[in-house]
Amino acid sequence: MAMILATVELLNHITGVKKMSESQSKEVITIKLSTKLPAKIDFQIGIRRAPNRGFILTKKETEMALKNALRYIPNELHEVLASEFLQELRSMGRIYGYRYRPSGEIYGRPVEEYDGIPEAKALQVMIDNNLDFEVALYPYELVTYGETGQVFQNWMQYQLVKKYLRIMKEDQTLVVSSGHPVGLFPSHRNAPRVISTNGLIVGQWDNPETFKKLAAMGVSNYGQMTAGGWMYIGPQGIVHGTYITLLNAGRKYLGIPENKDLSGVLFISSGLGGMSGAQPKAVEITGGIGVIAEVDYSRIETRFSQGWVSRFSDDLEEIAGWVEEFRIKKRQISIAYHGNVVDLLEYFDKNNLKVELISDQTSCHAVYEGGYTPAGITFEKGRELIEEDPVKFEELVDESLVRHFSVLKRLTEKGSYFWDYGNSFMASVFEAGEKNISANGIDTSEGFIWPSYVEDIMGPICFDKGFGPFRWVCLSRREEDLALTDKTAMEYIDPNLTAMHRDNYIWIRDAAKNKLVVGTKARILYADEEGRVKIALAFNRLVREGKIGMVMLGRDHHDVSGTDSPFRETANINDGSRVTADMSVQCFGGNIARGMTLVVLSNGGGVGIGRASNGGNGIVLDGSERMDDIIKSGLSWDVMGGVARRNWARNENAIETSKEWNKKNGNKGQITIPFIADDNFIKSLVDKVF
């Protein structure tokens, strides 16, 4: 009874604010939600739901959260929705405004079915694709991937952004702050149509604990990377990078020649979610054998039905038998293990079974929020503990992380190679109390005992040379448009130049055969600065000639320039500056200045709040000559700004790439090239002081 009375008192306090008169409201608020109360939605059976994030707010903060959510709602509906929002907050830890989700299926429809100017129509395609039941991890909670990566904080934001996009003019810019449409402002034709930020927090308060409060109060959004950046294209978005990582891990660690694949090589990892789900498809494309552990059976079902994993079992003996069978046959196979990766690794360790390559893609940036299920309990039990006993859940997670580390240590001592996949796994192990994972056994200032995949592979091989996850979406949703763009892109790749060019040529050549599309007709292709510009200009020409419909160009934020992240994208920056965030912010500002259609800057990415600054962009190809100019200027800057920073960090491949760019551009541009001090001279000089 006391709880009920307190709730009534709270609601009376919230809804008792002075109301704006109807005439005043009409005068100053023209873009708003309807005064008609939407019907309650029926949740479709079989669609994954986000876990309860925990009710962590004080009484005052709860009042604030309700008032914040009610800002979107006409006053006439406050009394009805305030209690409903309070119930959502207490049962889910967030206010999602489920009533405001559109009825029926949401997916990226053909662009002509939307209202607005061409760029606004294109952006609506991208938003809806991120929330497709086939694409999103928790679509009802607007989570696209990575356990917590949201497109918007709530469905009211979705509705209002859509309203703004429908009325947007070609000389206006919509500003979006953590999913909230701040407003539509006058700009000019060559300005971005949308400038968006997610989860940016002032330094002293930039930590996970503060963010959880901000998110619960509805004032900050974890956009991850391409969720809040409206550029997610399903697991294909990371599968090419995973393919490149696996191939080059085999070459670097196992001595496999550049013209050979991973036939007979076993890769063990975990996770079949929005990003990690790329692993089984990638390992099959490389010709190898993959066993991927996943505790959530629904994710195994999804990837199996989509053709992204070939077999699944909860029987470790059966799985080991399949591995041996395909080793002998030298044939590729992807296997999902329904169980915990710690149990999987311990089985192979205990039975002395050979494992060449190991990684992990659990969502350790949200390690205590359901991103990592501890060994010894089921996925379902883990969800119960998060809600009922979060302290116990955290204890189990820490114990499991230490156990996970121990089995990895044993396997690597036997000859296996492990790398961190930039998901904060090693940082989480360290924070769980296992100091031996750090390089100096004390703190993380000198890194960890194992490399991250960027540090050892992607950084020097791709990013330092300007190669990164370029992507495009055929907004018509026509298969023939995607086929023609694939063919066109392939024409601009010379497979004889380098191993990277050959890998990329094979990738795009076989893309359709590998059935990578989930959601909109999209493609990802690792390309360098010159390749991106040439391919984009060719696509724009195809649009101009009427051979294809409009195309949205973009990239993953996990790229050459877009992200500062010491544990991932900038892990191979070794001049002491890897913890700085200038590059990503400069990239964001430079893309705005060059008139990209959509420009985004977010906090956190795949490693967690306060551990990364990351940005992305989108360019709508409409066939115009104006867009040709934006392609040439924007795409070149978007790549070379990061190469320039990597070059200044004395990265050898970046220095060579920068020198070539300087030669090519002459007086049009110039990157500052470092002079290299002699290591022995510096060491001998400093030795005299210490």
Q: Are 420 and 359 in contact (CB under 8 A)?
A: yes
| 340 pLDDT tier (thresholds 50, 70, 90) | very high
When mean pLDDT is compared across 398-407, 411-420, 439-448, 535-544, the lowest value belongs to: 439-448
Q: CB within 8 A of 20, min separation 6: which ones?
A: 75
- Distance (Å, whole) CA 485 – CA 522: 10
How far out from the chain centre does Cα 647 lie? 26
> With helix as H, strand as E and coil as C, how does 584-596 read?
HHHHHHHHHHCCC
Q: Rounded mean pLDDT of the chain?
A: 94
**Residues whose CB falls within 8 Å of the CB of residue 75, separated by 6 or more in sequence, listed in order:** 19, 20, 25
DSSP class of residue 464 equals G
Q: Would you say 341 and 317 are in contact if contact means Cβ atoms under 8 Å apart?
A: no
pLDDT in tens, 459-487: 999 999 999 999 999 999 999 999 999 99
Q: pLDDT tens digits, residue range 87-146? A: 999 999 999 999 999 998 999 999 999 999 999 999 999 999 999 999 999 999 999 998
What is the rounded average pLDDT of the residues 273-293? 91
- Please name the residue ranges forming H helices in 594-651: 625-630, 636-648
**Quick one: pLDDT at residue 447?**
86
25 has pLDDT over 70: no
Cα separation, 637 vs 12, in Å, equals 54
CA distances from 645 to 108, 341, 654 (A): 36, 37, 8
Domains of the chain (ranges; CATH) run 2-134+152-216 (no CATH), 236-451 (3.40.50.10730), 459-679 (3.40.1770.10)
Q: How many CA atoms lie within 13 A of 229 on its CB side?
A: 29
Confidence of residue 2 (pLDDT cuts 50, 70, 90): very low
The pLDDT value given to residue 8: 47
Instruction: Label residue 120 exposed, middle or buried (CB < 10 Å: 0-12, 13-18, 19+).
Output: buried
Give the single-character DSSP code of 357: E
Q: What is the mean pLDDT of residues 184-193?
A: 98
**Rounded to an integer, what is the distance from CA 299 to the centroid of its chain?**
17
Q: Is the predicted pLDDT of residue 489 greater than 70, yes or no?
A: yes
Q: What is the pLDDT of residue 446?
A: 84
Cα Rg of the chain (Å, integer)? 25
Contacts with 87 (C-beta within 8 Å, 6 or more apart), sequence order: none
Helix, strand, coil fractions of the chain, as percent rounded to 5 = 45, 15, 40
Position 187 scores a pLDDT of: 98
User: Which pLDDT score is estimated for 5?
Assistant: 45
For 150-168, the pLDDT digits (tens) are: 999 999 999 999 999 999 9
Q: Give the pLDDT of residue 3.
A: 45
Band the pLDDT of 502: cuts 50, 70, 90: very high
3-state secondary structure of 335: strand
382: closest CA among 365, 391, 370? 370
In this prediction, residues 398-423 reach a mean pLDDT of 95
69 within 8 A of 127, measured Cβ to Cβ: no
Across residues 487-493, what is the average pLDDT? Answer: 97
- CA–CA dist 624, 544 (Å, integer): 7
Q: Report which secondary-structure segment, H or E, holds 265.
A: none
DSSP 423-443: SSHHHHHHHTT-GGGBTTSS-
Contact 543, 621 (CB under 8 A): yes
Residue 572 reports pLDDT greater than 50: yes
pLDDT tens profile 69-81: 999 999 999 999 9
Is there a contact between 226 and 250 (Cβ–Cβ < 8 Å)? no
% of the chain beyond a pLDDT of 90: 88
